[in-house]
Chains A and B, each alone.
Chain A
Amino acid sequence: MNSLQLFFQQLLNGLTLGAIYALIALGYTMVYGVIQLINFAHGEIFIVGAYAALTVILLVPFAAPPWWALLLLCAVGAAIVCALLGVGIERAAYRPIRQSPRLNALITAIGMSFFLQNALMLLYGATDRHFPNPLPLLRWELAGVTVSLMQLVAWATGALCMIGLQTLVMSTKIGMAMRATAQDLKACALLGIPVDRIIAVTFAIGSAAAAVGGMLFGLTYGTINFHDGYLMGMKAFTAAVLGGIGNIPGAMVGGLVLGLLEGLGAGYLSAQWKNVFAFVILVILLLFKPNGLLGERVADRA
C-alpha cells in the first residue's frame, strides 16, 4: 500500500463516520433553527434509534428477508420509534417552557438526556449489546483502496437522507413553513401557520434522521451501549456548529468534515490524539469563521 492509496483509504474511513455524524447533526441544526434550542437529548434519541433497529433485527427471523429489505425495515422501524419519541419529548418537556428563558429549556434538555440514558439502561441492560449485521461481507479493491458493502450502504443511506431532507425543506409547503418559523415564530403564528405542529414535525424529522444514523452506527461497529449516545451526540453537535448551526447543508458538511478530520488525525498523527486534532482544527476554524463553514447569520434574528 503506497502513501497515496493509504491517504485515499483514510479518506474513505473518515467518510463513513462523517455520514453518521451528519445524520445526527441534522437534528441539532433543525431544532436550533426553529426554536433556538440546543437539544442535548438528541444524542440519546440517536442511540434509541440504534436500539430500535436492534430490536427489529432480533424480532425478524434472521435469514428470512433479503438483507436490503431487512435494513429498510430496520430503518423505517427505528425512524418511526424515534420520530414519536422526538415529538413526545417536545410535547412533554419543551413546549410547556417555550416562553421561559432559554436556559430553562437547555437544562430541561440535559435532564431529558439523563432520563433517556437511564431508561435505556433499565430496558436493555447496562452491558454492550452485540448488533448482528445481516449484510453479506463483500469487499472490493479499486487501485489498492478497499471499499466494503457496509461503507457503500452507509454512504448511500446518508446521501439519500440528506437529499430527501434538503428537498423537503426547500421545495415543499411544510418545508417552507419550517423555514418561515425559523425566521420569525411570532409572525408565522399571526399569519395562521400552525407553529406548534411545524415544530413537532421538525422534531420528528430530525429524530428520524438520527434514528437512521443510529442504525448505521450499530451495523458499522457491531456493538452498542446505552451511553454511546452521549459522545456521538457531542461530536455531532460539534459538527453542527462547525457547519453553522441552523443551516441544514452546513450540518451535512460539518459532519463529513469532522469525520474526515478524525479519520486523518487517527491515521496520520496518532489514534489517542484524534479528538484533540479534530477539536483544534474546529477552534481555529471558528476563530476565523465564527458562524461556521456555511454559517447562518443567527445574530440578525436574535
Chain B
Amino acid sequence: MVKIGFVAPLTGDQAPHGQDMLNGARLAVERANAQGPVLPGFRLELVALDDQRNPTQAVSAAKKLVADPEVVAVIGHLNSSCTMPASAIYHQARLLQITPVSSNPQISRQGFDTFHRTCATDDLQGPGAALFATQELGAKRIFIIDDLTTYGRGLANEFKKKLQALGAEVLGHEGITQGDKDFVPLLTKVKALGPDLVYFAGMFPEGALLIKQKAEAGVGGRFMGGDGLFDPVLIDLATPQAAEGVYLTTIGSDIRQVPTAQRFVAEYETRFGPIGAYSAYAYEATSIAVWAIRAAGKKDRAAVLAAMKTLKDFPGLFGPQNFDEKGDSLIRDVGVFTVADGKFAFVKTASWE
C-alpha cells in the first residue's frame, strides 16, 4: 500500500473548511485508483489527520505522517500558522508537501524544496483587496482587524501596505483572538471613528460574528475580508441580512467560471453537495501528488520529490499548472466575491498592481 497524508482541521469551528478539502482530496484519490494502480502492485490510500487549526496539533500530525514509511506525499495544511511549522518537519523528512490553500507568502520563502502550494499568496491577495476597496468601492477611511494568526496578520499587513501606498487613510489596525465571541467593545470604538470600510483578515467563525455585531452596533461603512471568509456557513452564522453586501477576495478565480473544472464541479456536487471554497485546491493538490508518485514509479520519498521537480503544464482544474522555484503555483488569480441575496456572487478577477 502507498499512502498520501492529508491534514486539515476536521473538528472545531473551522471543520467545514477542512471537510470541504477532505472531500476534494478523497475524490482525487478515488479517481486515481479507478484509473488503475498508482504504482505496480500498490493500492493508493488517503490518510486523513485532524490538526484542529492548532499549530501544536499540526506538528504532531506531521510527525505522525513522517514516521509512516508508506506515506510518500502530504496534502496540507489549511491554516498558514499550521503549515509553517509542519513544513519544516516534512522538509527534514524529504517528504513532498503540497498545501492547497495556506496563503502566507513567508512559508515558501523558507527555501524548503519539499514545499509546494496551489493557490495565490497574500502578497497578491492583500494588494488586490486594497486596490478593489479604494478604486471600485471608493473607500477612503479604513479600519483593519485581523485574527493575530500567521495568515490573518500577514494578509492584514499586505493590505495595509498597499492602502498606504494608494494614499487611503488607515484609521487603526487591531487584533482579535480566535475563538472569542464578543467584539462589540472593539466595534463600538470603530463606530466612533466612522470608517467607510472595515477590513477583516481572518477566518469565517470570527468573521461572521464581526459582521453580525457590526450590523447590530450600527457601525457604518462596508465590510470586506479575505478568502478565510469564503464559506456559505459565514452567511448562516452572520445572518443573511447582516451579510448582504459583504465583499471578500479569494486565492483563485471562480471555479464555476473555469470551463476545464466543470466536470470536477459536477462530480463533486453529486457526491458531496455544494462545492466548498477550498475543495478544488485540495483536489488539485492531491491530483498533482498522484501524478508525482506515478512519475516516480516507486515507493520512495526522494524519487517522488525528484519527479515533482519535473512537472510541467500539469492539466489542472484552473488550466496548465506550473510551480516557480519557491514552490508557488504560477496560477495566481485573486477573485472578488460579494454576498447578494444571501449567496456568494462572483464580481471580478482583481489585479494587484
Q: Which of A's residues lie within 8 Å of B, judged by CB?
A: 1, 6, 9-10, 13-14, 16-17, 121, 126-128, 130, 137, 139, 146, 148, 150, 217, 221-223, 225, 227-228, 231, 262-268, 270-272, 274-275
Cβ–Cβ contact B11 & A264, under 8 A: no
Cβ–Cβ contact A223 & B217, under 8 A: no
Contact A267:B177 (CB < 8 A) given known A128-B205, A128-B237, A146-B217: no
A-B contacts, 28 listed (Cβ < 8 Å): A1-B191, A10-B185, A13-B185, A13-B188, A17-B182, A127-B13, A127-B16, A128-B233, A130-B236, A139-B218, A221-B209, A222-B208, A222-B237, A222-B239, A227-B179, A228-B179, A228-B181, A262-B182, A262-B185, A263-B185, A266-B183, A266-B186, A266-B189, A271-B145, A271-B185, A272-B148, A272-B174, A275-B177
Contact A126:B209 (CB < 8 A) given known A6-B188, A223-B181, A264-B185: no
**Which residues of A sit under 8 angstroms from B15, Cβ to Cβ?**
126-127
**Which residues of A sit under 8 angstroms from B177, Cβ to Cβ?**
271-272, 275
Q: CB < 8 Å: which of A128, A222, A270, A272 contacts B13? A: A128
A266 vs B181: C-alpha distance when bound (angstroms): 13
**Which residues of B sit under 8 angstroms from A146, Cβ to Cβ?**
217-218
Q: Mark B276-300, 1 if CB is under 8 A from A, else 0.
A: 0000000000000000000000000
Q: Which residues of chain B from 233 to 253 have any CB-CB distance to chain A below 8 Å in the complex?
A: 233, 236-239
**A257 CB to nearest chain B CB (Å):** 15
Cβ–Cβ contact A1 & B192, under 8 A: yes
Contact A221:B185 (CB < 8 A) given known A6-B192, A128-B205, A271-B176: no
Q: Which residues of chain B from 189 to 238 have any CB-CB distance to chain A below 8 Å in the complex?
A: 189, 191-192, 205, 208-209, 212, 216-218, 233, 236-238
Specify the chain A residue showing the minimal Cβ separation from B14: A127
**A258 CB to nearest chain B CB (Å):** 12
**B238 CB to nearest chain A CB (Å):** 8
**Which residues of B sit under 8 angstroms from A221, Cβ to Cβ?**
181-182, 209
The answer to whether B39 has its CB under 8 Å from any CB of chain A is: no
**Which residues of B sit under 8 angstroms from A262, Cβ to Cβ?**
182, 185
The answer to whether B184 has its CB under 8 Å from any CB of chain A is: yes
Cβ–Cβ contact B13 & A267, under 8 A: no
**Which residues of A sit under 8 angstroms from B316, Cβ to Cβ?**
none
> For the complex, would chain A's binding face be called helix, strand, loop or mixed by DSSP majority?
helix
Cβ–Cβ contact A225 & B182, under 8 A: no
Specify the chain B residue showing the minimal Cβ separation from A271: B186
**Which residues of A sit under 8 angstroms from B148, Cβ to Cβ?**
272
Specify the chain B residue showing the minimal Cβ separation from A259: B182
A266 vs B177: C-alpha distance when bound (angstroms): 11
A10-B188, A128-B205, A268-B189 known; 9 new pairs, CB 8 Å cut-off, are: A130-B236, A228-B181, A231-B179, A266-B182, A270-B174, A271-B186, A272-B148, A272-B176, A272-B177
Q: Mark B143-187, 1 if CB is under 8 A from A, else 0.
A: 001001000000000000000000000000011110101111110
A262 vs B182: C-alpha distance when bound (angstroms): 10
Total interface residues on B, CB under 8 Å, equals 35
The answer to whether B315 has its CB under 8 Å from any CB of chain A is: no
B10, B185, B239 pick with most chain A CB within 10 angstroms:
B185
**A119 CB to nearest chain B CB (Å):** 14
**A84 CB to nearest chain B CB (Å):** 27
Cβ–Cβ contact A222 & B185, under 8 A: no
**A227 CB to nearest chain B CB (Å):** 7
A121, A265, A267, A268 pick with most chain B CB within 10 angstroms:
A267
Q: Which of B's residues lie within 8 Å of A, judged by CB?
A: 10-13, 15-16, 145, 148, 174-177, 179, 181-186, 188-189, 191-192, 205, 208-209, 212, 216-218, 233, 236-239
**Which residues of B sit under 8 angstroms from A150, Cβ to Cβ?**
216
Cβ–Cβ contact A274 & B185, under 8 A: yes
**B251 CB to nearest chain A CB (Å):** 22
**Which residues of B sit under 8 angstroms from A121, Cβ to Cβ?**
11
A263 vs B183: C-alpha distance when bound (angstroms): 9
**Which residues of A sit under 8 angstroms from B181, Cβ to Cβ?**
217, 221, 223, 228
**B164 CB to nearest chain A CB (Å):** 20
A6 vs B217: C-alpha distance when bound (angstroms): 12
Specify the chain B residue showing the minimal Cβ separation from A20: B182
Specify the chain B residue showing the minimal Cβ separation from A121: B11
Closest 7 CB pairs of A and B: A266-B185, A272-B175, A126-B11, A267-B185, A271-B186, A221-B181, A1-B192
Contact A223:B175 (CB < 8 A) given known A6-B188, A128-B233, A228-B181: no
B16, B175, B184 pick with most chain A CB within 10 angstroms:
B184
**B182 CB to nearest chain A CB (Å):** 5
A209 vs B237: C-alpha distance when bound (angstroms): 26
Cβ–Cβ contact B13 & A271, under 8 A: no
Cβ–Cβ contact B216 & A223, under 8 A: no
**A67 CB to nearest chain B CB (Å):** 16
**Which residues of B sit under 8 angstroms from A227, Cβ to Cβ?**
12, 179
A263 vs B237: C-alpha distance when bound (angstroms): 23
**B82 CB to nearest chain A CB (Å):** 17
